[in-house]
Structures are given as structure tokens and as C-alpha cells.
């Protein structure tokens, strides 16, 4: 892969990942509620989900899944239902009495947050189509595929890690402005509506 082509790919990935999506919202809401350390679990969950989808897409398994209409629809509706459930949960969640208490919840361990983000990422079969459409644009068929795919996958994962960490730091700063119960309730409901909107789009798209 030439340096010029790689820089085009890097720019494309940065632009794509800056656009808000389910992973961005999960990371933001987690960092606001629990701080950056626990938000790191959602970042790693997103990284692993993306890596799995990239590998499935690169090995052709993704093509088999997307070509099976029944299986694809099951995965799509399951992903949409999970996002809707997250939305209703966020809408109904109670604001903390103080900012400090919002960072000391113990019933949401890092592993649970990691699994939640991983499920959100894997439950969207459109990720397989996304990578299947993205990667061929930057592959040189005359050269070995494995080193090129390794570069593409590792770059995407690294950029995803950096951007989501920036979102997490931003969430921690935002938390300082959510000291009142009213502000926290509005934030929870905004997150809930966004998740519901994303889930609804998955159903009708």
C-alpha cells in the first residue's frame, strides 16, 4: 500500500468515526455517569466489536451472513431491539442526587459495560456490509492481501480507540455541568431518545 493511499484511508476512517453513532453515545453516557476509567471498558468493547466484524468481512463469512436474508433480518432486528431497550433504560434512569454519587455506582462493573458495548457492535450486521464496501477501495489486488488487511484493520481500531477516548474525556468535562438533578434527567432523556432513534432507523432502514 502506497503512502498516499494509506493517508487517504486514514483520513476516510477519521471522518467516518467522528460522525456520532451508537458507540460514541455509549462512551459519552458512560463517561458522564461513571468517569473515564469505566468508559474505557466501552471503548475496548467497541474496538473488539469492530475488529470481529472486520475479520468476518475480510474472511468472507460476512458475505455469507449478509446473503442469508433470514439470518440478516434476525440480527438486524435483534440489534434494533437492543438499542431500543438501551434507550428506554436511559430514559427511565434516575439522576443522581450529586455529581459525586453519579461516579460511585457499583452495580455497573467495567466488564458489564464492556459486554454491553460489544453486543451493540456485533448486533448490527450493517457493519459487515460497511467493511466489505470500504476495504476493497484501498486494497491492491496485485499484492499480498494479509499485510494490507492487517494495516487496514489495525489503523481502524487505533483511530476508533483514540476518538472514543477523546469522547470519554469530553464526557467527563460535561459531567461537571450536570450537577443539578434537572440537568442529569435531561441528559438521560436525550441519550434515551437518541438510542431509540438509532434503533428505529435500524428497523426501517
Report pLDDT for 48. 94
**DSSP conformation class of 98:** S
Report pLDDT for 51. 92
Report pLDDT for 70. 74
Evaluate the CA torsion angle 95, 201, 204, 80 in order and state its sign.
Answer: negative
Report pLDDT for 35. 84
Mean pLDDT (10-residue bins), the chain, 205 residues: 86 85 84 86 92 85 63 69 72 54 49 86 77 80 83 94 93 71 69 72 67
Report pLDDT for 97. 37
Report pLDDT for 202. 65
Report pLDDT for 182. 66
Amino acid at each position: 500500500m502506497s503512502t498516499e493511499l494509506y493517508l487517504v484511508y486514514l483520513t476516510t476512517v477519521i471522518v467516518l468515526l467522528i460522525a456520532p453513532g451508537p458507540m460514541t453515545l455509549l462512551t459519552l453516557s458512560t463517561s458522564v455517569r461513571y468517569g473515564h476509567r469505566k468508559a474505557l471498558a466501552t471503548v475496548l468493547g467497541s474496538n473488539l466489536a469492530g475488529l470481529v466484524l472486520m475479520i468476518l468481512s475480510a474472511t468472507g463469512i460476512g458475505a455469507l451472513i449478509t446473503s442469508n436474508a433470514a439470518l440478516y433480518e434476525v440480527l438486524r432486528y435483534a440489534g434494533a431491539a437492543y438499542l431500543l431497550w438501551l434507550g428506554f433504560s436511559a430514559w427511565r434512569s434516575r439522576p443522581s442526587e450529586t455529581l459525586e454519587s453519579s461516579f460511585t455506582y457499583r452495580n455497573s462493573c467495567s466488564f458489564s459495560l464492556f459486554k454491553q458495548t460489544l453486543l451493540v457492535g456485533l448486533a448490527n450486521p450493517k457493519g459487515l456490509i460497511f467493511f466489505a464496501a470500504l476495504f476493497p477501495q484501498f486494497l491492491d489486488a496485485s499484492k499480498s492481501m494479509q499485510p494490507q488487511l492487517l494495516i487496514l484493520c489495525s489503523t481502524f481500531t487505533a483511530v476508533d480507540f483514540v476518538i472514543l477516548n477523546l469522547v470519554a474525556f469530553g464526557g467527563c468535562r460535561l459531567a461537571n455541568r450536570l450537577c443539578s438533578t434537572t440537568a442529569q434527567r435531561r441528559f438521560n432523556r436525550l441519550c434515551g431518545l437518541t438510542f431509540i432513534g438509532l434503533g428505529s432507523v435500524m428497523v426501517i432502514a
